[in-house]
Amino acid sequence: MNYLAHFYLSDYNENLIIGNYIADDVKGKAYLDYPLEVQKGILLHRKIDHFTDNHDTVLNSKNLIRHHQKKYTPVVMDVFYDYFLAKNWETYSEDKLKDFTVYIYKTLFKNLKHLPLKSQVRLSFMAKSNWLYNYRKIEGINKALTGLSKRTNYENNMAQAHIILKEEELSLDNDFNQFFPELKSFVTSEIKKGN
C-alpha cells in the first residue's frame, strides 16, 4: 500500500498517521527513538506492508503487471492500489477525499519538526503537487510514477506504468475491492490489540 492507504488505515489517529508516514524512512530499531504512540504507527505500517505483500489477491495483481514492470512491480502496485482506493473512495469513507487529504497535510505540517529530514522534504513535494488527491486520476498516477522513475538509480519502466494500468484496470479494480476490506479488518484488529 502507498501513502493514501496508510493514512486512511490510520483511522484519523494523529500518532498513527505520523508513524505510518515516516515508517519507510525509519530503519530497523530506530523506531525506538520515537514516542510510544508514533512507534505504534511505524510498526503498524510494517504490518500492513507484510500483510499486503503476502496476500494471494495482491500477488495476483502483481502477476498481471509483472511482465511490464519487472522488479519494480511491488512499487508500482502500491501506487496502483492508492489509485483504486481514491477511485472507490465513497465505498470506503463517508468523508470527501479532498477533505481527508487536507486533514492529512495539516496534521503532518503541524508535526513537521518531529519528522525525519527525508520525510520533511517529501512532504513539501507531496503537498505542493497534492499527490494524495491526484491519485484519483490516471494522470496523477502517471505523474507520481514518472517522478519515482527519475529518482531510481536503475533502468525502469515506471513512466509507462499508466499503460498497463489502463489495460488491466478492471481486473486490478476487482482485486483491490476484494483485498481492501480484508486489509481493513486486519488493521482494525491490530489497532484494537494496541499493535
Cell of 112: 513537521
Residue with cell 520515537: 34
- Mean per-residue pLDDT pooled into runs of 10, the chain (195 residues): 94 96 94 94 96 96 95 94 97 97 97 93 92 94 89 86 95 98 96 79
8-state DSSP, 1 = -
Residue with cell 512499487: 75
pLDDT at 195: 54
pLDDT at 94: 96
Task: Say which amino acid occupies 37.
Answer: E
pLDDT at 150: 85
Q: Helices 161-193 and 138-150 sit at what angle, rounded to 10 degrees?
A: 90
Count the neighbouring beta carbons within 10 Å of the beta carbon of residue 103: 15
Rounded CA separation 26/20 (Å):
10
pLDDT at 148: 85
pTM of the model: 0.94
pLDDT at 162: 93
51-to-46, 62, 148, 179, 184 alpha-carbon distances in Å: 9, 15, 24, 10, 11
Rounded CA separation 117/137 (Å):
29
Count the neighbouring beta carbons within 10 Å of the beta carbon of residue 11: 12
Cell of 142: 502517471
pLDDT at 156: 87
What residue ranges do the domains of the chain occupy?
A: 3-193
